[in-house]
Amino acid sequence: MALPFRILTVLSIRALPHEELLRGTNSNDSDSDGDGYSDGAEVRNGYNPLETLGPAINNPEFIYGKTRLSSFEAEQKEALILKAELTKKLGRARVARIQTSWSTLVNAYIYGRYTVAEIIDTIKNGPRAVHPSIPAVIWRQSENYKKFLNSKK
């Protein structure tokens, strides 16, 4: 006999209600399409929970061709790591002055996979080591990035 409610983990409590709204599933029915896989498992693995053996859903891109991390807490943890490294190398006052571009730099670190050293160079010298929308692996092959490397010699 199915329970009239679902027992959810802490992560699914935060993530699934939003996904269920996006997908149009019923939060009181753990298997909307009746295929034997829970809606949560289907959503987490990129499948449509409303179609039995349906095609994978493409997660929308956030930035740098990547989907957003699964939780705000995960993003915040990475941002705090970056802030600690920048504070260690640049000082608290200098880090406090970069508030207007902070989200761009955090996204570059998390999603663009830029290094702390590249982000520090961008803070000190302007945009040359970090591109706001091109992933590091591609940007590092560009002529502009090569100019950055030559300036370091």
Summarize pLDDT for 27-48 with one digit per residue, the tens: 666 666 666 666 666 666 556 6
Please give the backbone phi and psi of residue 117, each rounded to the nearest 5 degrees, phi first: -60, -40
pLDDT averaged over every residue in the chain: 76
Same domain as 78, residue 55: no
**Taking the mean position of all CA atoms in its chain, how far away is CA 28?**
29
Domain count, the chain: 2
Identify any residues that bridge with 63 across adjacent strands, giving them in sequence order: 66
Same domain as 133, residue 88: yes
Q: Which of 54, 23, 53, 55 is nearest to 40 (CA)?
A: 23
Q: Is residue 50 part of a domain?
A: yes
- What integer pLDDT is reported at residue 8 of this predicted model? 38
Q: Is residue 130 part of a domain?
A: yes
Distance CA(61)–CA(65), nearest Å, equals 6
Distance CA(140)–CA(68), nearest Å, equals 23
Same domain as 30, residue 5: yes
Q: Could you report the per-residue pLDDT of 109-148, keeping only the tens digit for each?
A: 999 999 999 999 999 988 889 999 999 999 999 988 888 7
Same domain as 93, residue 43: no
Q: Could you report the per-residue pLDDT of 56-66, keeping only the tens digit for each?
A: 555 567 888 88
Q: Choose one of 59, 85, 107: the last residue of a domain.
A: 59
Per-residue pLDDT band for 9 (boundaries 50, 70, 90) equals very low
Domain that holds residue 143: 72-151
